[in-house]
Amino acid sequence: MSSTRRALATVAAAALVLATGWSATAQENTPPPDRGIYQVTGADDAQARTEVARTGVDVLGVRDGTMEVVASPAQARTLRDAGYAPRLTGDFDAALAAQSNGPAAADDFPAGDEGYHTYDEMVAEVRAAAGDHADITSVSSIGSSFEGRDLPLVKISDNVGVDEDEPEVVFTCNMHAREHLTLEMCLRIVNRFTDGYGTDETVTGFVDGREIWVVPSLNPDGAEFDISGGEYQGWRKNRQPNSDGSVGTDINRNFSYKWGCCGGASDSPSAETYRGPSAGSAPEVASAQEWVSSRVIDGEQQITAHIDFHSFSELVLWPFGHTYDTVTEGMTQEEYDRFSSVGTEMADANGYTPDQASGLYITDGDINDWMWGEHKILSFCFEMYPSGGGLDGFYPPDEDIVEQTTRNDSAVDVLLTHAG
């Protein structure tokens, strides 16, 4: 979306907020929307933010002790009962409509944002990369989504058809449906390490000395639904039906390690952080876990490092998310110090803020805790651009793609260096 179009959308969203009258006086007389945007103050530490997140609200962002969340009327009441004072600032669905400005082709991004890749476009691009660089690139699949879409797996290595005795590094993207910038990040990695081979000394060295794996989308069903009808839906979860008639599991709360252990996910199927009925119940998660586990050869995990890309907030996060403790079951002081050191080095490279994942709020059943807890893979979460912005943060204009994906080139190189 052009800057002019995005500015108009922002103005339109503001106008909708004003037009619907979410003033303190009006709120007393007007029923709140089904999905209201609220500002929650007083969440000054991780414990308070965890308490807010545990209500099942959809956390849009955190800044200076204020959380911006999407909440149902019942969730807003729960927050008030807990002593918070959520302030209604808008209607989430009205804001989404304003964000999706102008007509769009079916099964494509809203008008002006066509620079983002749909699922079919992503598949075509990785296949083209493999065709153009067949000596170093292959495309396979780790499995299928709930709706039957392949989950493409790209391998980049100097002897791509051989399982070499080299450190393996994995990059995963688009686990949460609306975080489309992350898919572009994985495509950047694919294109950089294929197009640059033989001409870029750094790229060539890593391709020769590592086996690089890329999963561009772990949630294609959700991502396609999020742009259905040419309008953004604000969708986060996968598209797996639940027993109560709601749809979707938060696949980054469905991994097996410490699943449901610590109040870092919801047991309510309608919640945005619903953990699923059982660990690994989401087919996307089952496929990811099975593939990663298959890289254990002769008792040794071949994958040594991993980044899972999300958006937004500009953070580099590391395990554990399920506990505030730094040294705990599964994490020695030496191991934690290594996470902190590598994470800080990557943050220095891309300008993000480094922290343990639970410094934001408690999560459990996430991919990073599973990667480390089950396989001792040095696993990080990158929360990409922007640093804030509420709903807008999930849908940056497509003109930002190149700048914000290349911004992570050096940070990716840091991880590849430490993977050895």
User: Quick check: is 112 in a domain?
Assistant: no
User: Quick check: is 106 in a domain?
Assistant: no
Instruction: Please tell me the least confidently modeled range out of 96-110, 255-269, 352-366.
Output: 96-110
Rounded mean pLDDT of the chain? 92
Higher pLDDT, 105 or 173: 173
Give 105's pLDDT tier (boundaries 50, 70, 90): low
Does 383 qualify as catalytic in the annotation? yes
**Containing domain of residue 80, as a range?**
3-99
Same domain for 177 and 75: no
Same domain for 184 and 39: no
Mean pLDDT on 205-231: 97
Four-point Cα dihedral 362, 366, 371, 376, nearest 10: 20
Same domain for 262 and 171: yes
Give 9's pLDDT tier (boundaries 50, 70, 90): very low
Q: What are 277-310's pLDDT values in tens digits? A: 999 999 999 999 999 999 999 999 999 999 999 9
Q: Is the pLDDT of residue 420 over 50?
A: yes
With 0.75 as the threshold, say if the pTM is over it: yes
- Among the listed residues 168, 383, 399, 403, the single catalytic one is 383
Same domain for 332 and 408: yes
C-alpha 324: how far from chain center: 21
Start-end of H helices in 179-332 = 180-195, 201-209, 220-226, 283-294
Give which of 184, 151, 189 is closest to 170, Cα–Cα: 189
User: Residue 267: what residue type?
Assistant: D
Cis bond before residue 255 (omega within 30° of 0): no
User: Quick check: is 107 in a domain?
Assistant: no
Task: Please tell me the total number of residues recorded for the chain in this structure.
Answer: 420
Mean pLDDT on 215-240: 96
Q: What is the pLDDT of residue 31?
A: 86
Give 106's pLDDT tier (boundaries 50, 70, 90): low
Q: Is the pLDDT of residue 199 over 60?
A: yes
Total number of domains in the chain: 2
Same domain for 358 and 239: yes
